[in-house]
Amino acid sequence: MSAAAVASPIDNRPARLTALRDALARADLDALLVTSLANIRYVTGFSGSNALLVLTAKDCVLLTDFRYATQVEEEIGSAASVRIESTNLWTGLWAQLGTMASVERVGFESMHLLHRDFARLLEQGARWSWRPTTDVVETLRAVKDAGELALIERAVAMAETALRHTVPLLRPGISETAVAGILERHLREAGSEAFPFPSIVASGPRSALPHARAGDRQLETGDFVLIDFGAVTAGYCSDITRTFVLGRASDEQREVYDIVREANVRASGALRVGMTGMAADAVARDYIDARGFGEAFGHSLGHGIGLEVHEAPRLARVVESPLAAGTVVTIEPGIYRAGWGGVRIEDDVFLSALGPRVLTGFPRDLHELS
């Protein structure tokens, strides 16, 4: 797929700005201070690592530093006006707000502001009235447009290509870290611009650690080999897990594997717009529980992916909000038994009004590596 064939997700920046301004008006805020870099990227297209964004009914002003002077112009076009600060973005913020006469009530992102910076708002920013907000931009981000979906699909394809090239090289004696190196090289060759999180290659008993990274353990015959990784393109992530067996699977391995696979397939197929995150989680959890492994599935079913690899919505026991049309979520049930091993099978699923569409095509059947 060529880059030109995919609609740019930033084509929708004007619509995003309009939706945010509507949200500001509803919340009776004169302005919103955006401190989450992913949220800033969503609104403006800017991908740098140091920025503040101020949004009002009229203005959209991005503050960043010297290092990004060239990059910011290339990335944001007319989506925002830019202030390049030579010392401190906060100093620039007070100056910028000082020029905005009608701004009094300013929302800030409670989930993306450190206490240290909150203290700045109360001290140097004392002439404004600061109101905590949550999920203002995130709620928009949860619903993907066609351009964003195309990028996530491309990131899924990159990850699958890399995994296809890596699997034939799994063999006894190779270290987890070396496997990660092969996988990541192929991710790069497939065009991945980054790694959305540290690749997990966990073998044998280490596969029972749901968040193991790659270590120096060498693969052995009989191991589960759990590989959880992703690709990134134009900022959009994929997140995929497959678990293999090196050599012949034991009956016990096969049983656990089949339960996880069935939980994965059931949960993906059951997703519907309007379903709660809790209900989605329960599809997989109840099945695993009924098969006697409920205690061994200790994390939640999945999460949204997009500009961040963990974003809204969450599919978890405590989530009562309904799934919107246009979300892309992971479906990743697992069973983990300390000292023995674990299995996780994770797909990326697009949910539309028509129902779920699994974006991940990589086979889910038990693959015994010979």
Kindly list the residues in this chain that would bind its own copies in the complex (CB under 8 A). Answer: 3, 48-49, 65-71, 87, 108, 110-116, 118-119, 132, 134, 177-178, 180-182, 184-189, 191-195, 198, 208-216, 298-299, 318, 338-339
Q: How far apart are CA 346 and CA 338, in angstroms?
A: 20
Task: Enter the tokens of residue 97.
Answer: 């707000």
Beta carbon of residue 260, minimum distance to its own copies (angstroms, whole number) = 16
**Nearer to its own copies (CB atom), residue 211 or residue 248:** 211
Beta carbon of residue 196, minimum distance to its own copies (angstroms, whole number) = 10
Peptide bond into 313 cis (omega under 30): yes
Task: Enter the tokens of residue 336.
Answer: 């983990």
| Beta bridge mates, 335 | 343
Strands 81-85 and 31-34: unpaired
What residues have CB less than 8 Å from 66, skipping those under 6 apart?
84, 86
DSSP 8: P
Q: Using an 8 Å Cβ cutoff, are 210 and 300 in contact? A: no
Beta carbon of residue 86, minimum distance to its own copies (angstroms, whole number) = 8
Beta carbon of residue 100, minimum distance to its own copies (angstroms, whole number) = 22
Residue 133 — φ and ψ, nearest 5°? -130, 160
Beta carbon of residue 49, minimum distance to its own copies (angstroms, whole number) = 6
Beta carbon of residue 240, minimum distance to its own copies (angstroms, whole number) = 18
Beta carbon of residue 104, minimum distance to its own copies (angstroms, whole number) = 20
**Nearer to its own copies (CB atom), residue 68 or residue 350:** 68
- Reference 276, options 348, 327, 240; nearest CA is 327
Task: Enter the tokens of residue 158.
Answer: 């990159």
**Nearer to its own copies (CB atom), residue 9 or residue 356:** 9
**Nearer to its own copies (CB atom), residue 178 or residue 325:** 178
**Nearer to its own copies (CB atom), residue 188 or residue 357:** 188
Q: Using an 8 Å Cβ cutoff, are 20 and 55 in contact? A: yes
**Nearer to its own copies (CB atom), residue 21 or residue 217:** 217
Find the angle CA(294)-CA(277)-CA(361) to the nearest 5 degrees.
Answer: 80
**Nearer to its own copies (CB atom), residue 233 or residue 327:** 233
Beta carbon of residue 335, minimum distance to its own copies (angstroms, whole number) = 13
- Reference 232, options 298, 306, 165, 168; nearest CA is 306
Residue reference for tokens 């009914």: 57
Q: How far apart are CA 209 and CA 219, in angstroms?
A: 16
**Nearer to its own copies (CB atom), residue 29 or residue 265:** 29
Beta carbon of residue 185, minimum distance to its own copies (angstroms, whole number) = 4
Beta carbon of residue 188, minimum distance to its own copies (angstroms, whole number) = 3
**Nearer to its own copies (CB atom), residue 215 or residue 222:** 215
Q: How far apart are CA 58 and CA 189, in angstroms?
A: 43
What residues have CB less than 8 Å from 187, skipping those under 6 apart?
158, 159, 162, 195, 229, 231
**Nearer to its own copies (CB atom), residue 195 or residue 293:** 195
Residue reference for tokens 């519907």: 272
What radius of gyration do the chain's Cα atoms show? Answer: 23
